Amino acid sequence: MRKVIALAVAGVFVSPTVFADSGNVTIYGKIRMGVEFLNSDANTTTLNSTSHTSQTKISSFKSRIGFKGEEDLGNGLKTVWQAEGGINADDASMDTLSSSKKLNGNGLLATRDTFVGLSDAKLGTLKLGRITSPYDNVGSKFDGFIGSDRINGFFEQNNTDPDSSVTNGVYNFPINVKQNRKNNAIHYTSPNLNGFSGAVEYYLNENATSTSKAGKGISTRLSYSGNGLSIDWGFEQNKTGAPSVSGSANKETANLVSIAYDVLPELTLGGQLYKQQNNAASKVENKGYGLFANYKATPQVTLRAFYGQFTAKKNDGIEDTNDFKAKRLTLGAHYALSKRTLVFAEYLNDKINRKAVSASTGNTSARTISIGLSHDF
């Protein structure tokens, strides 16, 4: 009996390295909650040409939870992995996305970046899975607004969303090139070489049919950061795999350049240039720009501002609802209560002016005030 007890005690105190490997698991996430005050107006050709909508909402701003880890394989090589999903903290549901946004996820646990790969400090990192595209990371480090995609999303959501119910009839590209995450992706990120870095991603749509090949695409980013200067250039091209018939588009390309400079240690100013087009007979072309500023007024207070505009034009010789100009103004103030908790107040103003309006599609404007609390864990 004494021998049995002795073995049991020894088992309790034996070094865990006998059973465990060098891997680890980190649980992390963000809970971002707030109150939103929304007001919007629309002007169409109907008898009641002007309509006004106002609403107060409790919103979850890209709240998420994730699991990640790595394993040391020796000689500087390690395995890296991650599984991350969005959550709607306002109703405790998963971040479920509509079927029209299936490129962005299907409402399961891993709706955000989820991958496994190998990483080497000298050679870079190679990952497979569902991964944010290099294009979408252009200038993203300056988009510190809590509200969803206040800067990069201006060019993305108003312009490439295939779900017309979301964009209120804004012209939608048929291929949806700039989705921020790609399924079925192979992603390589280079090491940092004297301030220069880059990334490339190749993704497969896996939608082949008996009459068309599967769609595919490539996304790239080249960056430089040093001496207070940051420069990013992103390129992305997506092909549907379908043959181009009757002048329809089967390929789309996009370019995004972001430049920022630390004018003062507390003040960063920058801008973005954007262009996107397809290869249809009546080519659709969008182009625009954005200007942003981040100012750290005190160790606790950060002020942010963004102004952008872009034009959408369908080159068919007809000025209609598909031809428009969009503008966005965003202002924000964040107060840090600690390293992981902050309160925020943000203002968003969007306007869309069209060359022509119809009974269902018109000029629109929307204003949103968001006040809330964000905590990282």
pLDDT recorded at residue 360: 67
Least confident of 23-32, 46-55, 151-160, 294-303: 151-160
Give the per-residue pLDDT at 212.
73
* Distance of alpha carbon 348 from alpha carbon 363, whole angstroms: 17
- What pLDDT, on a 0 to 100 scale, did the predictor assign at position 151? 66
111-130 per-position pLDDT tens digit: 889 999 999 999 999 999 99
Where are the extended beta strands (E) located within 141-250?
Answer: 181-189, 196-204, 216-226, 229-239
Q: Kindly calculate the radius of gyration of the chain based on its CA atoms and give it in whole angstroms.
A: 24
- Rounded distance, CA 153 to CA 136, Å? 9
Quickly state the pLDDT bin for 43 (edges 50, 70, 90). Answer: confident
Task: Read off the pLDDT band of 52 (50, 70, 90).
Answer: confident
- DSSP symbol at 199: E
Report if pTM > 0.85: no
As a whole-number percent, the residues of the chain with pLDDT over 90 amount to: 45
Looking only at the bridges linking them, the beta strands covering 124-132 and 93-94 are unpaired
Winning range, highest mean pLDDT, from 45-54, 257-266, 324-333:
257-266
The per-residue pLDDT for 98 is 39
Of 38-47, 59-68, 134-143, which range is least confident?
38-47
Per-residue model confidence as pLDDT tens digits over 282-332: 677 889 999 999 999 999 999 999 999 988 887 777 777 778 888 999 999
- Comparing 173 with 241, the larger pLDDT belongs to 241
Q: Specify the residue for token string 């992981």.
A: 340
How many angstroms separate the Cα of 8 from the Cα of each of 4, 17, 194? Answer: 6, 18, 55
Q: What does the pLDDT read at residue 331?
A: 94
Give 210's Cβ-side CA count (13 Å radius): 0
Residues in the chain, how many? 377
Average pLDDT rounded to a whole number, residues 342-353: 92
CATH number for the domain whose boundaries are 26-376: 2.40.160.10
Q: Is the pLDDT of residue 194 over 90?
A: yes
pLDDT confidence tier of residue 51, bands split at 50, 70 and 90:
confident
As a whole number of angstroms, the distance between CA 327 and CA 229 comes to 27
Mean of pLDDT values over 209-235: 90
Q: 330: number of CA atoms within 13 Å, CB side?
A: 25
Q: What is the mean pLDDT of the chain?
A: 80
Does the structure show a pLDDT above 80 at 338? yes
DSSP label at 247?
Answer: T
For the chain, the structural domain boundaries read: 26-376
